[in-house]
Amino acid sequence: TSFLTLDKLSLAYGNTVAVKDLDLDIRKGELLALLGPSGCGKTTTMRSIAGLMTPVGGRIRLDGADITRVAANKRAVGLVFQSYALFPHLTVFENVAFGLKLKGMRGAELEAKVASGLKSVGLAAFADRKTPELSGGQQQRVALARSMVMEPKVLLLDEPLSNLDARLRLEMRTELQRVQKESGVTMIFVTHDQVEALALADRIVVMKNGAIEQIGTPEEIYNHP
Ligand code: ADP
Ligand code: ADP
């Protein structure tokens, strides 16, 4: 059964159609990769799921509700940007606490929630550091923890590993997979790297020119490219 459904979704920038009549069913707890060359519509699709862009056609359903026109901050969809977008003047703790505070969480509940988020990404010992003191991989983990503590129904990651060097990329692949499986959160990540998609994803959606060219498990995609 489908948890997140894109139904005949069409997305455009003015007269430029970026995504056309896209149908996609995503299961709860799935780790899905959106794979394809630059310009094929991956980021645009993610933006629409996040609520940063209104479709020109079609619908988006999440957990039984039509969210096509629901505001971005009311969708329970988390977004981790390629740039991490951390606050450099704040500590790791304060970065992870930021969204929770906006929701009104305070005191012991907040401390416990942030501590558990940092523990889940292996950063418990870094709570009091400023983020520019951390490595790229550690900053990526802070961004991941910051989104995870909000308990999104879906977490979207835009090229999550692309800013890391080769060694860290391998390490973060394992880390991302572990956090996803342990939390059971439904996750969609964008990549143009086929090896990364094959290594990480439960299913891969291959996009081309704003449409789905192929969809399947890594085995299926690998055996029938
Ligand atoms: P990526 O392919 O890595 O997502 P791009 O370099 O294509 O990033 O795009 C970078 C920024 O430029 C994005 O904010 C995107 O929305 C914008 N952009 C991409 N293509 C166009 C375009 N044809 N006209 C205007 N803005 C664009
Ligand atoms: P991808 O993420 O797969 O690289 P995008 O979703 O960024 O692709 O882009 C899909 C199409 O939409 C491309 O033709 C791109 O040029 C266009 N596009 C993206 N962002 C903008 C924008 N801000 N304005 C105009 N066109 C854009």
Query: How would you classify residue 34: left for phi > 0, otherwise alpha for psi between -120 and 50, otherwise beta?
Result: beta
Dmax (CA) of the chain: 53
In this structure, is the dihedral angle defined by the CA atoms of residues 14, 19, 23 and 26, taken in order, positive or negative? negative
Local confidence pLDDT in tens for the 225 residues of the chain: 899 999 999 999 999 999 999 999 999 999 999 999 999 999 999 999 999 999 999 999 999 999 999 999 999 999 998 777 899 999 999 999 999 999 999 999 999 999 999 999 999 999 999 999 999 889 999 999 999 999 999 999 999 888 888 888 888 889 899 999 999 999 999 999 999 999 999 999 999 999 999 999 999 999 986
Distance 1 CA to ligand 1 centre (A): 34
Residue of 38, 44, 83, 159 to mutate, ligand 1, most atoms within 8 A of C-beta: 38
ipTM value, please give it. Answer: 0.75
Distance 39 CA to ligand 1 centre (A): 8
Quick one: which atom of ligand 1 is closest to the CA of 42?
Answer: 4
How far CA 59 is from CA of 10, 119, 140, in Å, comes to 9, 37, 31
- What pTM, to 2 d.p., does this model score? 0.89
What tens digit of pLDDT does each residue of 145-177 get?
Answer: 999 999 999 999 999 888 888 888 888 889 899
Distance 191 CA to ligand 1 centre (A): 15
Token pair belonging to 127: 């709570």
The residues with which 2 forms a beta bridge, in sequence order, are none
